[in-house]
Structure 1
């Protein structure tokens, strides 16, 4: 028994890796007749491609159908499938995983489309840095499309509804047939020279043959070289042309292109009203600030004038005079009050006041006021001053205060 034994899953995985690493099988075009075509509820499509010599199982996942399939496949229909060949590991069978499918009659055009797309992409014509911004407020809009048909009617209706003041300038171009590409190029260059604000280039939906003029290199270069921003609106949302890739903005439909190019009038007026109110508020605020500054400068100028300075000095002198007068009056009142208090106190200390209260004072014969008993003696004459007059008296005896002892009565013992 051999040493290296592999499981079925390992073998299938190994074979799948071999398929994955094969450059040719990673991106391959396969032509054949559709057989056993089934549209699953999940959105996937399961079918086979066959010819007179063999068949290959195919699957197209729902996520690839949006961009890769623009028609409904029928049994027996001949198609060209772009995809990758790989192994479905669970069943151990290989199959073609489809990315894009076109009818066999359109196969040559599709291959030309892919080659031109790759060439222009390598030249950088799809690069974001070359995209011009679409003006927000366009007044003149150029339109390159057929003069009749749904596309021009949709653009006119949307424009009229959104902003009736926008001017549409139509270049009636051929959008299908042998001379369509030259007509579209001439329309783009004419409107670019005319000086419109933005340009819509497009047409309604159709087959790849109908839309082929918008896949021509001359149209792509005219759009790329245009100084005016270009909005492409070719076919339906699922159609993608070279013109869509090189234009400044791609719209899924002509109606959507008109909505991109034309700002809604009511929205514009609402924005203008908002700006008007903001501007009025700022102007009013600025006027108020200027008035306040003018008043401040007027006061500064007024205060700097000699007349104002003299008036201020006079007022200051008058204030000082008034303060001095009030201070002096207050001081005078205080002094009067103090003098009255002192007078009252002096009056209370006056000898005459004491005499009126029943007190008296005594003088000796020489007029000296007596302050003690030692200053007199019995027989001495005294003057007793009372409130209403003087009493002449003679000392008959002298007594010490509180003792009751006679000091002298003026007579000798035995007399």
Structure 2
């Protein structure tokens, strides 16, 4: 590529970078009339902003839809806040809107946003504070204007669905400077009546017409109300602070009546169905209990208490007789066994006595045979030295020493005069 010649992509990228570095274009507010507005299936909104002499393409992505509190339509005068950037592929620039307000209503919208954020931070929108809507409400209070389409729609739909539900209307002001006090008073009054449910709301209108339901006092009255509250303000696209605080939001007053009043005909059908089901269940239970009763009657006849008692008495008598016979038989047997054991024990004792006597005689004879006294009885004696040690060898004594001789009937003290060994040669060797 020749010097100084650029591709289309390079040019578009360069221009895109210029837009991106421009501080004014990165945060800009553009006022104009909406045209060619299209809601894409992806959630993005494509439209054109124009004035008397010019126009600019614009888009609001689905991720920024929370910055839109109303339905964008042809011919609306709006102010779009966002950035102007280049769409590089097509080489065109467009407004990427992040917030959109209607012309002349910017202050109210900012006030709405500020109050909504404050109440949300306080937790007044938290799900844990939402009270459940009763499924079968019998008494419903309504805070709205006494004239207008809202109350007529609620009455008509309630009467059609369930003419037995009682409706209590508090005719409140729903527009103007005194509307917020009137709505708060209506909520407090009906809350003290102990009703099942409250509906607050009105028909559609501009943001100024609906502003009473964006007041903080109204929001707090709803939050502190003990009775469950359905908020039904304006049309489906209209969103107010009361919708966030209420226990349930209905897109329209008619929808609120549909949610609040249960369908009596449908209830009757469900009741009839439940009754039929319950009757079938009861019939089956009765039949089952009847069958069980018959079975119990048969068992009662078979297990007649009188017959059972007679049988028990007979069995008891038989057991007593068997026990008596067993005791007598056991006693006689025990006596016989005791006599036999006594006889056997006596025999064993006598035999053991004879054996022990023989053993004793044997031990006596052995003891007498080994007795020193018996041995010295035939002329033998037992000699000891001065220290009473037995003299077993001539080597233990010397001439002149005293010795003692014990014979059969006494002892003799003597003095050694001479020692004569049995073998003189051994004596000399010993000396």
Supply the distance in 2 between the matched residues of 1:249 and 1:196 (Cα, whole angstroms): 16
In structure 1, how many angstroms separate the alpha carbons of the residues matched to 2:171 and 2:84?
47
Counterpart CA distance in 2 for 1:283 and 1:69 is: 56
What is the CA–CA distance in structure 1 between the aligned matches of 2:75 and 2:161, rounded to whole Å?
Answer: 40
Distance 2:19 2:117 in 1: 25
CA deviation string 1:207-248 (max 9, x = no partner) = 000000111122122222222221111111111111112222
Cα deviation 1:63-109 (Å, max 9, x = unaligned): 769954355426xx5x3224444332234444323355433221110
CA gap of 1:169–1:238, structure 2 versus 1, over 3 A, is same
Task: String of CA shifts for 1:108-130, please: whole Å, max 9, x gaps.
Answer: 10111111222222333223333
Structure 1 counterpart of 2:236: 237
2:285 aligned with 1:283, yes or no?
no
User: Structure 1 CA distance, aligned partners of 2:168 and 2:270?
Assistant: 26
Give the TM-score taking structure 1 as reference length.
Answer: 0.63
Give the whole-Å Cα distance in 2 for the aligned partners of 1:71 and 1:170: 35
CA drift of 1:12 comes to: 4.4
Match of 1:177 in 2: 176
**Structure 1 residues 97 and 253: CA distance shift in structure 2, 3 A:** same
Aligned-partner Cα distance in 2 for 1:310–1:164 = 68
What pairs with 1:100-249 in structure 2 (closer than 5 Å)?
101-249=100-248
Mark the CA change 1:152 to 1:135 in structure 2 (over 3 Å): closer, same or farther: same
Cα distance 1:17–1:248, how it changes in 2: closer, same or farther (>3 A)? farther
For each residue in 1:307-357, what CA deviation from the matched residue of structure 2 results, as whole angstroms up to 9, or x when unmatched?
556999xxxxxxxxxxxxxxxxxxxxxxxxxxxxxxxxxxxxxxxxxxxxx
Distance 1:160 1:251 in 2: 19
CA contact (8 A) 1:29 1:80 kept: no
| Secondary structure class of the residue paired with 2:137 | coil
Question: Could you tell me how far apart the structure 1 residues matched to 2:247 and 2:14 are?
Answer: 46
The separation in 2 between residues aligned to 1:21 and 1:197, in whole angstroms, is: 60
Structure 2 SS opposite 1:226: coil
- Where does residue 73 of structure 1 map in the other structure? 75
- Please, what TM-score do these two structures have when normalized by structure 2? 0.61
Structure 1 stretch displaced more, 170-179 or 117-126: 117-126
Q: What is the CA-CA distance between 1:197 and the residue it aligns to?
A: 1.1
Name the residue aligned to 1:402: none
SS at match of 1:199: strand
Quick check: 1:68–1:100 contact (8 Å CA) kept in 2? no
> Is 154-163 or 184-193 further displaced after alignment?
184-193
Asked if structure 2 preserves the Cα contact closer than 8 Å seen for 1:70 and 1:238, the reply is no
Query: Does the Cα contact within 8 Å between 1:141 and 1:169 map onto a contact in 2?
Result: yes
- Name the CA shift for 1:19/1:133 in 2 (closer, same or farther; >3 Å): farther
Q: Using the alignment, how far apart are the partners of 1:259 and 1:41 within structure 2?
A: 29
Deviations 1:179-214 (A, max 9, x none): 111211121122122111111110000000000011
**Of 144-153 and 241-250, the range deviating more from structure 2:** 241-250
What is aligned with 1:375?
none
Question: Residue by residue, what CA displacement relative to the aligned partner does 1:277-313 show, whole Å, maximum 9, x if unpaired?
Answer: 122122222222332333222222222225556999x
Is residue 48–residue 56 contact of structure 1 (8 Å, CA) maintained in 2? yes
Would you say the 8 A contact 2:32–2:49 is kept in 1?
no
2:16 is aligned with 1:9: no
Query: RMSD in angstroms over aligned alpha carbons?
Result: 3.9
Structure 1 gaps, min length 5? 313-415
Question: 1:19 and 1:303, CA in 2 relative to 1: closer, same or farther beyond 3 A?
Answer: farther
Q: CA deviation at 1:32?
A: 2.8
The alpha-carbon distance between structure 1 residues 294 and 207, as it changes in their structure 2 partners (threshold 3 A), is: same
Identify the residue that residue 46 of structure 1 maps to in structure 2.
Answer: 48
CA distance in 1, matches of 2:277, 2:21: 65
Tell me how far 1:56 sits from its aligned partner.
7.6
Query: What is the alpha-carbon distance in structure 1 between the residues aligned to residue 21 and residue 299 of structure 2?
Result: 89
Unaligned runs of 5+ in 2: 312-431
Task: Tell me which residue corresponds to 1:270.
Answer: 269
Tell me if structure 2 keeps the 8 A contact 1:32–1:50. Answer: no
CA contact (8 A) 1:139 1:166 kept: yes
* Aligned length, in residue pairs: 305
Paired residue secondary structure (2:104): helix
**In 1, are the aligned partners of 2:33 and 2:51 still within 8 Å (CA)?**
yes
Q: Does the 8 A contact of 1:33 with 1:50 survive in 2? A: no
SS of 2:198's partner is strand
Residue 261 (structure 1) aligned with residue 263 (structure 2): no
Determine if contact 1:34/1:50 at 8 Å carries over to the other structure.
Answer: no
